[in-house]
Structure 1
Amino acid sequence: MHRPILIYFIVFILINTHSFAQTNNQAPIWGQWENWGDSRNGTYNNPILPADYSDLDCIRVGSDYYAVSSTFQYSPGFVILHSKDMVNWEIISHAVNDITSISPEMNWDKMNRYGKGIWAGAIRYHDKKFWIYFGTPDEGYFMTTAEKPEGPWQPLHQVLAKKGWDDCSPFWDDDGQGYLIGTNFSDGYKIHLFKMTADGKELIEGSDKVIHQSEGSEANKLYKINGIYYHFFSEVKPEGRTIMMERSKNIYGPYTEEKQLSHAEKQFNEPNQGGLVQTQNRDWYFLTHHGTGDWSGRIMSLLPVNWVDGWPIIGKVGEDKIGTMVWSGKKPVNPGVVYAPQTSDEFNQSNLPPQWEWNYHPRVEKWSLKERAGWLRLHAFKPIETNNLLKAGNTLTQRTYRTKANEVILKLDFSGINNGQKAGLSHFGAPAYATLGIACEDKISYLELNVKGKITKGLVLKGNKIWLKSTWGLDGKSQFYYSINGKKYMPFGKPYQMEWGSYRGDRIAIYNYNNLADDGYIDVDYFHYTYSK
């Protein structure tokens, strides 16, 4: 090798090594990350997905990784993601197409499950099938199966019809016997272990045993590694919520050995709930959410796992043999495949792509991708409460991202609008939300901004098309804009600070309702969402 080339190569390596070391050792102030996810050089930065993917669990099947996340009242429910490396993810499906099978309170005409609905659950692969179990705080535990993670998923089956339970996970032992572990949070956070019937649909009477109880103990997973049963959970300590584990040679215990796997680290919003996964290279990782939410929700990070004295310590191992947050590292595997969760939509497919989730189960006859080819048609109908988007059906949402630069543009044709109708773009959350859109009164359409119930009227609209835009950065302050030609955009209103509420981060949404009657419609040509890496 020629000396100038050699010197250049050495300098290049030193610069990149120094840069990586800085990233690895210097933790960012929470939310101020400019780089996240795949660095495209065999390394990654946390968070790997700076969006609201809460209550995570993860498994590997062959060379594919699958993760699931809670969705609360959104429909379809219980989102499923796919990856080849646990760093790049795509949305592939949802496990629950009809969330009214959980409760009629989750339908568009009730809308009574904010902060409730589908909570944490787990995904497993057993007997050549994928199995999903999750809980709702008011209805109990549910399960479904599918031969492929893309579905179709079987109709939900209720496993436990009791209020006050959460964070369940199935486990199948070497002899094929199935178990379900879960927390009864209404009874002092006692963690119960049940045997299940062979089809996984019923809990065997008399098999129940409480195997653990501590303050706030939940986030349950059960693993068997080298013949030892490991019960993973989290609990609340004075310093915050921490990741814990106990182990035993018998599945029912007693679990006399206990270990704290990581520190709470409130400055990093307490990474805790998640799933332990062994790669095809036999390395271990922990896919987790940051459990204390802010406007961006409970976002996703990936932490290395180091086995110390037979315990899977999560993150960087300290002198106390307890882990701490790691902000960058080597990718678990590097297959050269890059995914990203879907965002933009031209509405030219026969079905809505999987990034979309309705707020509650939609009124299906009031939306269509067929009535006008290449457009989404939303028919307006009366909300449960006048001028309350939280009680207006068929609001279509997807997650917002916490990146340096975000832009959403929505193109609407409102030639079908009628008196009493309101439609447009929203930053959506419960109880706080903000909207910029069209309002129709006395057959006159005008621009309207609504921030937490405070309404500001804008110009009268002469045509029948409008472009609405929102931009925001790492601080979560959105600025709304409008355009009447799709070229020149004018700001409207002051910046809106997105908020956390009902265990959810902010979402971007398309809304349409009519305070006076089931009348009028809008057509959506496209929804374009771009964000920075």
Structure 2
Amino acid sequence: MRVLPTLWLAATALATNFNQPVLWEDLADLDIFRVNDTFYYSASTMHYSPGAPILHSYDLVNWEFIGHSVPNLGWGNIYNLDGGQAYVKGIWASTLRYRKSNGMWYWIGCIQFSKTYVFTSPSATGPWTQSGVINTCYYDCSLLIDDDDTMYVAYGGTQISVAQLSSDGLSQVKTQQVFSSSFSIEGSRFYKRNGQYYILNDQPANAEYVLKSNSPWGPYTQKQLLNNIATPISGGGIPHQGGIVDTPNGDWYYMAFVDSYPGGRVPVLAPITWGSDGFPVITTVNGGWGTSYPYPLTPHTLSSPTGKDTFQGTSLGPQWEWNHNPDPNYYSVNNGLTLKTAKVTNDLYAARNTLTHRILGPQSYATIQLTINNMKPGDRSGLAMLRDSSAYVAVINNSGTLRVSMVQGLTMDSNWNTASTGNEVAGVNLPSGTSTIWLRASADIHPGSGRTAVFYYSTDGTTFHSIGSSYVLNNAWNFFMGYRYAIFNYATSSLGGSVVVNSFDMESGSP
């Protein structure tokens, strides 16, 4: 690894620096690339819908959601929470690229170790359409569009393969294994530079390797890029996986992610150089991944991840994702979000139309304003800290009496089926005639154990009362996705009720 000399550090200290992570949100299995002066970022989403979010940036540091590559998870009823569930299934590490020759965007991903799906669009912002299905699973795949416009996909775990796609990119011409590792590797990212082909792979979850060849079909030489490098996020894991990208100026950067549970996996960025052997070298600070580096380019700020969403217009913004596919017959956006009860259940994990938002780390709080005068007896509507162990604050219609309740102890088993629907730990009846309420969750997602969330409610939007005890967040990695803020409304008795979410406001820090 290349170590920054003291003089270089002193000289660049005067420049504008960025701090890690570049965006403290759960955006794992990233694929990153550049089209002209714009950088694009794609991530995994598993059971959340729409899937495979797309972000863009002009400086590699400031990012903004612009859309999703997969508008609907159309792989069976379980993705609709019908006859089962699809937790931790769906979209894993996948790939996104722009093809200049036809002006089309391509997303490719394998679903449930079975088939690979190809979605295309004339624009990064959509509309996206499923255009092809390939009967080979391109596990942890990466698309490379070569100089002659041939499309290749690198994929696999430990045994790495390369497939050549048809001229339209929608089917497979051939595939062959190009490298067999003596240890576990995955997370392929495929590049070409100066006539050489590179495949980046990670050894979960503490090392990164690079394969290099003068042909897409090999033979490939393997070299370690990093191993147990000091993390730039206190308490977080080791940077790994991710991909490399160049700037219009010809500088190269490596964007990896860091396991930072309970919040998820967050992106970190470091400059790289190229050694005399043609392999990339990370620019380190004191032997580790720097907590700060000079901006790659002139800073270009975009919309802030914080602030208030009042659900203007008739569609949700690209920062929102549903827990599994929603039922469009039971929600609407029209200067406010109306959530009709879509399913009779006593289980939040089985409820339809739960809307989620990534939590901004390391600490933030979210507040929703609800109009609740159309709730029916048995209805529950509120704001959750959603993961395989969950808690929430909700308004409950108890036979006509509205009650604010803090519920915790919602858990899943190792197959992600519901083990417990939770229990009320505190509650208070609302005054008769209450029609509007504000609910709030404050979350500390610094990496590590013992991090907590606290819930609040208000009847005037100004004075907030804490309810229940601090909820200890689960920081195990096994669920992969980190905690999210989740807005829900479901029936336990009969359908017909609804609430209006007038606003969602997320702010950094604590209230």
TM-score normalized with structure 1 length: 0.84
Match of 1:135 among 70, 92, 110: 110
- What are the equivalent positions in structure 2 for 1:436-515 lying under 5 Å apart? 436-452=393-409, 453-461=422-430, 462=432, 463-473=434-444, 475=446, 476-500=451-475, 502-515=479-492
Gap runs ≥5 in structure 1: 1-16, 22-38
Q: Tell me the equivalent position of 1:25.
A: none
Q: What does 1:115-264 align with in structure 2 at a 5 Å threshold?
A: 115-126=88-99, 127=101, 128-160=103-135, 162=137, 166-183=139-156, 185=157, 189-205=158-174, 207-236=175-204, 241-255=206-220, 257-264=221-228
Cα offset for 1:324? 3.6
Percent identical pairs in the alignment equals 30
Q: After superposition, give the CA deviation of every residue in 1:420-443 in whole Å (9 maximum; x if it has no partner).
A: 1111111111x2111101111222
- Residue type of the partner of 1:402? G
Structure 2 residue 337 is the aligned partner of structure 1 residue 376: yes
More helix by share: 1
Letter of the structure 1 residue corresponding to residue 90 of structure 2: G
User: In 1, Cα distance between the equivalents of 2:288 and 2:304?
Assistant: 27
Q: Distance in 1 between matches of 2:331 and 2:136?
A: 33
Distance 2:349 2:330 in 1: 18
The runs of at least 4 consecutive aligned structure 1 residues that moved more than 6 Å come to 17-21
In 2, are the aligned partners of 1:107 and 1:362 still within 8 Å (CA)? yes
Q: Aligned residue for 1:108?
A: 81
Residue 384 of structure 2 corresponds to 426
The match for 2:360 is 401
Alpha-carbon deviation of 1:484?
1.2
The match for 1:345 is 309
1:521 Cα deviation after fit? 0.8
Distance 1:110 1:266 in 2: 45
Q: What secondary structure is seen at the aligned counterpart in 2 of 1:208?
A: strand
Deviation string 1:155-201 (CA, Å, 9 cap, x unpaired) is 25322355xx5211122222322211111x4xxx3211111111111
Look up the equivalent residue of 1:394 and give its one-letter code.
Answer: N
Cα distance, 1:130 vs structure 2:
2.0
Partner of 2:263: 296
Q: Would you say the 8 A contact 1:55–1:119 is kept in 2?
A: yes
SS at 2:349 equivalent:
helix
Give, as a single letter, the amino acid of the residue that structure 1 aligns with 2:209.
M
Q: Among residues 62, 72, 84, which one is paired with 2:58 in the alignment?
A: 84
Closer, same or farther in 2 for the Cα pair 1:133/1:338, shift >3 Å?
same
Amino acid at match of 2:348: L
Q: How far has the Cα of 1:510 moved from its partner?
A: 0.4
Distance of 2:307 and 2:132 partners within structure 1: 31
| Inter-partner Cα distance in structure 2 for 1:129 and 1:432 | 40
1:77 and 1:336, CA in 2 relative to 1: closer, same or farther beyond 3 A?
A: closer
- Which deviates the most, 458-467 or 390-399? 458-467
Distance in 2, matches of 1:337 and 1:449, equals 38
The CA deviation string for residues 127-157 of structure 1, in whole angstroms up to 9 with x for no partner, is 2322221222343322222222111122253
TM-score by length of 2: 0.88
Q: Distance in 1 between matches of 2:470 and 2:124?
A: 40
Deviation at 1:263, TM superposition (A): 1.9
Once residues 78 and 197 of structure 2 are traced to their aligned partners in structure 1, the CA distance between those partners, rounded to angstroms, is 39
Aligned to 1:361: 325
Q: Secondary structure at the match of 2:377?
A: coil
Q: Does the aligned pair in 2 maintain the 1:246–1:258 contact within 8 Å?
A: yes
Counterpart-to-counterpart distance in 2, 1:340 and 1:95? 22
Distance in 2 between residues matched to 1:411 and 1:487, nearest whole Å: 12
Contact 1:109 1:393 in 2 (8 A): no
SS in 2 for 1:289: strand
Q: Indicate conservation of the 8 Å contact 1:262/1:315, yes or no.
A: no
Unaligned runs of 5+ in 2: 1-8, 410-421
Alignment partners' CA distance in 1, 2:60 and 2:301: 11
Query: C-alpha root-mean-square deviation of aligned residues, in Å?
Result: 2.3
- Report the Cα distance in structure 2 between the residues aligned to 1:78 and 1:104, rounded to whole angstroms: 19
Matched letter for residue 273 of structure 2: N
